[in-house]
Amino acid sequence: MKPPAPADRIPHILKHCRTIAVVGLSHKPHRASFDVARYMQGHGYRIIPVNPNETEVLGEKAYATLADAAAHEKIELVNCFRNSEDIPPIVDEAIAIGARAVWMQLGISNAAAAAKAEAAGLLVVQDHCLKIDHRVLLSSNLL
């Protein structure tokens, strides 16, 4: 399948990647990771928490690593709530588990890791909020 044009990347990911591993998801309701994951879950996406400090978030079993999660779940999108410098090993795991896309939240980017993911065939979004982009596309009837 030919990858979507850059302008179509976000709608494509949101339409076709329905199982989201959220790396850095916290059970704390005031955290952005919780808010975004709860919103996406409320819109029918399956959320897989990835955080070694959690056992369960939003009613879903939490896993210590993407590899652990992928042993039990088919992960399509890896949503990153980690610092930009922590992204390369997450991308390596996303490639290894066969994820279709990597999404770095607002304020998070890593050009080298993004290039590596794209070279491996993954779609990449950097410095964007999954919740905001979903809400905009939904209100525009593009989802």
Residue 2 is predicted with a pLDDT of 60
DSSP class of residue 2? Answer: P
String of DSSP letters for 102-119:
EEE-TT---HHHHHHHHH
Q: What is the pLDDT of residues 75-126, one digit of tens each?
A: 999 999 999 999 999 999 999 999 999 999 999 999 999 999 999 999 999 9
Distance CA 56, CA 27 (A): 8
Q: Which domains does the chain have, with CATH numbers?
A: 8-139 (3.40.50.720)
Residue 8 is predicted with a pLDDT of 86
Q: What is the pLDDT of residues 13-57, one digit of tens each?
A: 999 999 999 999 999 999 999 999 999 999 999 999 999 999 999
